[in-house]
A = this chain, B = another copy of it.
Amino acid sequence: MSKHVVIVGAVALGPKVASRLMRCAPDTKITLLDRDRLISYGGCGIPYFVGGDVSEISELRKTMYHMERNESFFKNVKHFQVLTGQEVVSINRKDKSVVYRDVDSGQEASMDYDQLVLATGTTPVLPPLPGADLPGVFTVSNLHHAQAIKNKLAQGEIESAVVVGGGAIGLEMAEAFADLWGVETTVVEMMDHVLPAALGPDTAGLVHKQLEDNDVRVMCKTKVTEVVGDADTGVQAVRTSEGDIPCQAVIFSVGVRPSTKLAQDAGLTIGPFGGIAVNARLRTSDPNIYAGGDCIEQRHLISGENLIMPLGSLANRQGRVIANNIAGGNDQFPGVIGNFCVKVFDIGVARAGLTMAQAEQAGFDPEYALVVQPDRAHFYPTSNIMIMKLIADRSTRQVLGVEALGPNGDAVKARVDAVGALLPHRVRLDEISNLEVCYSPPFSLAMDIVNVAGNVLQNIIDGYNRPIFPQELLRVFPEQKGVVLDVRAPDQAQPGRDKYGDRWMNIPLEQVPDRISEVPADIPVYVYCNTGTRSYEVQRFLNGQGFDNVRGVQGSYAVMRDLDPEFDPRKDGEI
């Protein structure tokens, strides 16, 4: 007799397990249950549906070949049974059966399984604040919410909106609101910068500027204390530690919680971070029960810590591993390194591995480089600036993380994915310096930004490059400490000279050897240019001439102009 595999949850991992299993072991009987009627959708596409890039919500449920993934699709094309509107309410591990309830009739029934797969996903966190249940308060977790938000927008009911939580989904929703619908949008973030789990404060500062340039207001270090309104009119404002923000809609995107009640009630082990605990084969503490996707705890391959990482990409890959194992294989899912990307208006942002803060917390002694380079040959017409932060452990030189952003998101992703691919191999910095990437002027410089980032970070650790990072300079310069030595052409340096007088020196790069007597030896000198390249050149030259109190401003104008446009008041923006 063929074995019966029961799968709970039919969004990403569930259908993947079933589809793969039917291809490998076509004798298997599979039943997939979901309490929702809308299943197997691309939840990550919701902001693009709200923002109009995707016009019909049904697009998020279609295959590449334009078939809607519903019960009959799975029956006729994938050859397994899906029962929708059926909520699994308990697992009887002794009998190997589940009890499920029809969400409309409330009627319960039970079903035996040989193997059970839990793909129960997550529940969005809705903080227990006064007013959090008012009409006009939304989370972004399924197609019903998506449709409700878009309906309200389309009916012109939202002039102002507040997005609580500056993570990826929050920023994507803010863009959707502001860009297509012209809604006055405010992002409120409790931490000191947006994308706090993905980026450090400097790279996040550049994202912040991108949001503001596109008329999204961003309030960091701000706590939401209440949603103001009443049941009739709905939301009227969000009350925060920085005052009230009037609005007609609130999106809470402050995180998600793995949906583990079913697992927990059945006595399966739950990990310290609240996800279902699984081994590398994605089996739970019961050998007949697998779990994967958003509801499990993942192992981070660099930090060694567990974490919750809800991503459709991981769910799909894990689905294959589970199916192979049920089919009798030994497939393993080793863990994650936290690859992440997001489009924020006109820029792409990506990272892999750990941020500086995460690296410190994991016990490393991290150091970083912040480099600016064109994404293609600088003489090629479509060349754009890219900014990259590379993080490594100071003593072992193990590469720990990378963050990058720029107008060409695919090119940003290219660099982060290449470095990211190496992270599980615990490579040292010299492997990044020598990393071979495809080179041709329309797609890269001869020295690609990844190689340069590797070199700069080695130079910093070796003591050749003596950096001052933009945020430190923004702190110390107003305290009257040191002078800026601007080595760009006089016209580019003039706005700084006009603003700061003698504290903003200008000696163009090529004149430095002849005018070395003008450089002060007794106070800190911050060498400054457009991207940090010339600064390093001059810093090394001055070091060679006995000047020790010289530091190069990492990223220089290319970073400063976005982090604090008032610091260097030059306005033309050209690099």
Contacts and interface: CB of A to CB of B under 8 A. Distances in A.
Interface of A: 12, 22-24, 26-27, 42, 44-45, 48, 53-54, 59-60, 62-65, 67, 72-73, 76-79, 168, 311-317, 320-321, 331, 333-334, 336-337, 339-343, 348, 350-352, 373-375, 377-381, 408-411, 413-422, 425, 430, 433-444, 446-448, 451, 455, 464, 488, 509-513, 529-531, 533-534, 536-537, 540-541, 543-544, 575
Given A77-B537, A333-B434, A379 B45 contact: yes
Contacts of A63: 533
B416 A419 contact: no
B425 A438 contact: no
Contacts of A440: 44, 168, 340-343
The 6 closest A-B pairs by CB, nearest first: A26-B544, A414-B414, A341-B438, A313-B439, A410-B410, A312-B446
Contacts of A334: 434
Contacts of A530: 65
A379 B464 CA distance: 48
B446 A316 contact: yes
Contacts of A529: 65
B313 A48 contact: no
A30 to B, nearest CB: 13
B341 A443 contact: yes
A336 B436 contact: yes
Nearest to A447: B316
Contacts of A78: 537
B380 A54 contact: yes
Nearest to A537: B77
Contacts of A438: 339-341, 350-352, 413, 416-417, 420
B379 A317 contact: no
A509 B65 CA distance: 10
Nearest to A422: B421
Given A54-B380, A438-B417, A64 B533 contact: yes
Given A76-B510, A418-B421, A420-B438, 17 more contacts: A23-B536, A27-B544, A44-B446, A45-B379, A48-B442, A64-B533, A77-B510, A312-B439, A315-B446, A316-B446, A336-B436, A343-B442, A348-B442, A352-B438, A411-B414, A413-B437, A421-B422
Contact of A421 (B430, B435, B439, B447): B435
A188 B340 CA distance: 45
Given A342-B440, A438-B352, A440-B342, A317 B433 contact: yes
Contacts of A343: 440, 442-443
Nearest to A414: B414
A317 B447 contact: yes
A443 B513 contact: no
Contacts of A312: 439, 446
A419 to B, nearest CB: 7
A464 B53 CA distance: 37
16 contacts: A24-B464, A45-B377, A63-B533, A79-B541, A168-B440, A316-B446, A334-B434, A337-B436, A341-B443, A342-B440, A348-B442, A411-B413, A415-B417, A420-B436, A421-B422, A421-B435
Nearest to A410: B410
Given A379-B59, A439-B341, A510 B541 contact: no
Nearest to A56: B379
A134 to B, nearest CB: 30
A70 B272 CA distance: 62
A45 B377 CA distance: 8
Contacts of A418: 414, 417-418, 420-421
A506 to B, nearest CB: 15
A349 to B, nearest CB: 9
